[in-house]
Amino acid sequence: MSFADFIIIALAGPLGFYACDWILERMIGRAHATGALDHPTDRGSHSTPTPRVGGLGVAGVVLAAALLGWLALWLAGGAMTDFFQAVLGGLILGGAVAVGLGYWDDVRNLPVGPKLMGQIVAAALGAAAVGGLGKVGVLGLYIPLPNLIGVPIVFAGLFWMMNVCNFMDGSDGMLSVFTVAILTGFAIAMGRWMPGREVLILILAAYAGAILAFHRRNVWLAQERKTFMGDCGSQFSGLALGMLALVFFRESFRMDLTAPFALFFPFLFDTGYTIVRRYMKGANVFQAHHEHLYQRHLDAGASHRTVRWFWCVIMAIHVAIAGVITLQGPDSLAGWVAALATPLPMGLYWRYVRRLTGEKKGAGANEAVADPGMSLVDDLD
């Protein structure tokens, strides 16, 4: 790390923390004054009405850092940073749509149609700004990917990430643990030289500071100062992490899916497994529920703190796995061994939760009763 890198982190991190905290302090007070609170439901994991404004603070900081970075790249010029500038443009435009419509839903409880359309627009703006990928690889084996295929894949990936973060934002600290782990994985990947490095450090440091400010209010502070992330934050987080992953996918991950797949795997596994499990049980996969692995862990009697620590360990292991693949190369022996280890942590957690809940092979857990008006795109706070 250079002295310039250290100065950027030392300034952007604390500034992101205090800026986010300042926004949240005011928005939490406003939510309590107006009664715009998230009330307990059968599909939720909380028992006290709580604001859902955490995403406004996090998104405000990240969008400001992204805009500042975009302006810096525009002033600097150079073809090497054109892709990065395009990514930041997509993050700013798509992120503004995601957080704006998400907050509207948090306050007004929009029907499924407008929420789904907002996600489509946000993901489409991100995909259109980035364009195609050119090629994609797995374990060092590459295939060309024309834009006609690449752009829809980018769109689908961003749309899915928005929903994955929405699904998994149902326990105190869950999304902030995931975000910090992903940002740490990105920082490790930045050990290799990248164009626009200083701008990336600025955004990652500001993002980390903001998410820690949110985590403090989501987990540590008293109820009257507490907030959930809300749709405005979970959808924005999915889009932001997905857009930033595209930068590292091109520059540090060498256009190879192995490392980013390992890094994001825990959330992808929980979401994918839950959908398949519900489908196999004959349940409506588009209906809101309370059957994710982490939610079943909570229902078995574990506290939010216990579940959070389980996921801290799981995400730390996956950061290490992705780091080995990135630094050693996906086609190296170490990269192959790390890739083969990717499913193990979540496989062990899956077995643990099944044993904890007493679930037997071929028999599902009791299905949660959900409001038929709720859908796949609803927040699980």
pLDDT one digit per residue (tens) for the chain, 381 residues: 677 788 989 999 999 999 999 999 999 988 887 767 766 665 555 557 888 888 999 999 999 999 999 998 888 776 556 888 889 999 999 999 999 999 998 888 888 888 899 999 999 999 999 887 778 888 878 888 888 888 999 999 999 999 999 888 888 889 999 999 999 999 988 865 566 788 999 999 999 999 999 999 999 887 778 898 989 999 999 999 999 999 888 776 677 899 999 999 999 999 999 999 998 988 887 777 788 999 999 999 999 999 999 999 999 999 999 999 998 988 899 999 999 999 999 999 999 999 998 865 544 434 333 333 333 444 433
- 201: amino acid identity, one letter: I
The pLDDT assigned to 381 comes to: 39
**CA distance between the termini of the chain:** 38
Dihedral of alpha carbons 289, 291, 295, 299, sign? positive
For residue 49, give the H/E element and its range: none
Q: Check if the beta carbon of residue 116 is closer than 8 Å to that of residue 242.
A: no
Distance CA 331, CA 140 (A): 5
- Closest by Cα among 333, 179, 186, 350 to 259: 186
Q: Which two tokens stand for residue 285?
A: 């996969």
Q: Tens digits of per-residue pLDDT, 121-137?
A: 999 999 999 887 778 88
Residue 49, burial from CB neighbour count under 10 angstroms (0-12, 13-18, 19+): middle
Q: Which two tokens stand for residue 329?
A: 């190369």
Q: Tens digits of per-residue pLDDT, 174-216?
A: 999 999 999 999 998 886 556 678 899 999 999 999 999 999 9
- Relative to beta strand 141-145, strand 134-138 is antiparallel
Task: Region of 44 please: left (phi>0), alpha (psi -120 to 50) or beta.
Answer: beta
Task: Give this prediction's pTM.
Answer: 0.88
Q: Which two tokens stand for residue 110?
A: 């929009």
Taking CA atoms, 9 is separated from 16, 163, 301, in Å, by 10, 30, 40
In the chain, DSSP assigns E strands to 134-138, 141-145
